[in-house]
Amino acid sequence: MTIAVYPGSFDPVTLGHIDIAERAAKIFDKVIIAVMVNPHKNALFTVEQRKDLISEAVKHIPNIEVDSFPGLLVHYVQNKGAKVIVKGLRAVSDFESELSMASINWAMYSGAETFFIPTNSKYSYISSSLVKEIARHNGPIEDFVTPYVCQALRQVNQH
């Protein structure tokens, strides 16, 4: 069984993230979407909220599990017995930083390979940061996130 870990902050999860997860789930036996716990990042949603938003978005995919982890990704990957780290690429600029991270991860743990999935072009311009900014100004976000995430963003921005 090939286990893949798809890590990220997912604050919030977008349709682009879901597209990558769906495509990875067709390739690997099990995909763990792993929310990184980073106390230094000023996240809009708590880790538990992000896990809930992701779980709702991928509930139709039986071989996806949603989890979270603190610390180094390679330690988490080792603990889960995963052989693959899945990363989505939106643009050439993503590739440069992701390649650097993949190299460092491989140097620390050569038991897992990084698998890059280019984003579907219809999602290539979507980022969690942009979605949050649009939502903060009451702009239309329905084409970028699931209805459940849209509702959560609207509620957070009302307070």
Would 85 be classed as within a structural domain?
A: yes
DSSP collapsed to 3 states, 117-146: EECCHHHCCCCHHHHHHHHHCCCCCCCCCC
Domain assignment of residue 90, given as a range: 3-124
Tally of structural domains, the chain:
1
Would 157 be classed as within a structural domain?
A: no
pTM for the model: 0.95
E strands, the chain, are 3-8, 30-37, 64-70, 84-89, 113-118
State the catalytic residue, choosing from 23, 41, 55, 132.
Answer: 41
Would 16 be classed as within a structural domain?
A: yes
Would 135 be classed as within a structural domain?
A: no
Q: Is 80 a catalytic residue?
A: no
| Stretch among 19-23, 64-68, 124-128 having the lowest mean pLDDT | 124-128
Would 159 be classed as within a structural domain?
A: no
Would 69 be classed as within a structural domain?
A: yes
State the catalytic residue, choosing from 17, 30, 80, 132.
Answer: 17
Is residue 110 part of an annotated ligand binding site? no
State the catalytic residue, choosing from 30, 90, 97, 110.
Answer: 90
Q: What is the CATH number of the domain that holds 72?
A: 3.40.50.620
The 10s digit of each residue's pLDDT in 96-130 is 889 999 999 999 999 999 999 999 999 988 999 99
Is residue 9 part of an annotated ligand binding site? yes
Across the range 67-74, mean pLDDT stands at 96
Could you give the 3-state DSSP secondary structure of residue 60? coil
Would 134 be classed as within a structural domain?
A: no
Would 77 be classed as within a structural domain?
A: yes
